[in-house]
């Protein structure tokens, strides 16, 4: 990502999911960096994801990490394989199961806007 990159995502308070792509080797990944972790090429493209994916793993959390979040349990945490080819963690509808096809929206969790996945029908 170069300075002044217009793509902002939920980790910066925007209702969006961003990922990165290396034009040199084709690698796709989620955690933002200034270089490709596979081939080292600098200034990878930062792109906005469409929010569609498939549930890879899920857990319903009953034990909150802090007093402030105690009222939110239970909440579902998912790993989702996104259509663009990267995997991400999000929250989701408690009824989600592995292999469900999902779409991301955004919801407040404490004072953070987080990706929240729901089942999509097609």
Q: If phi over 0 gives left and psi between -120 and 50 gives alpha, with beta otherwise, what is residue 50?
A: alpha
Q: Where are the alpha helices (DSSP H) in the chain?
A: none
List the strands of the sheet with 18-21, edge to edge: 28-29, 18-21, 45-48
Count of residues engaged in binding other proteins, rule: CB under 8 A: 32
| Cα-based distances in Å from 14 to 97, 106, 115 | 27, 9, 10
Residue 48 binds to other proteins (criterion: CB under 8 A): no
Query: Considering only CA atoms, which of 115, 116, 112 is closest in space to residue 13?
Result: 112
- Which listed range, 19-27, 40-48, 87-95, lies at the site for other proteins (CB under 8 A)? 87-95
**Nearest approach, Cβ of 46 to other proteins (angstroms)?**
14
Residue 89 binds to other proteins (criterion: CB under 8 A): yes
**Nearest approach, Cβ of 70 to other proteins (angstroms)?**
10
Residue 46 binds to other proteins (criterion: CB under 8 A): no
Residues making contact with other proteins (CB under 8 A): 11, 29-31, 56-67, 69, 72, 74-75, 77, 79, 87-91, 98, 109-110, 112, 114
């Amino acid at each position: 990502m170069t300075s002044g990159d217009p793509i902002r995502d939920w980790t910066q308070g925007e209702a969006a999911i961003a990922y990165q792509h290396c034009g040199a080797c084709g690698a796709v990944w989620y955690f933002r960096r200034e270089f490709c972790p596979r081939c080292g090429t600098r200034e990878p493209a930062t792109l906005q994801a469409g929010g569609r994916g498939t549930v890879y793993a899920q857990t319903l959390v009953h034990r909150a990490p802090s007093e402030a979040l105690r009222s939110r349990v239970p909440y579902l945490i998912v790993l989702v394989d996104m259509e663009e080819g990267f995997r991400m963690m999000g929250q989701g509808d408690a009824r989600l199961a592995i292999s469900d096809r999902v779409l991301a929206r955004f919801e407040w969790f404490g004072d953070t806007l987080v990706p929240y996945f729901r089942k999509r029908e097609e």
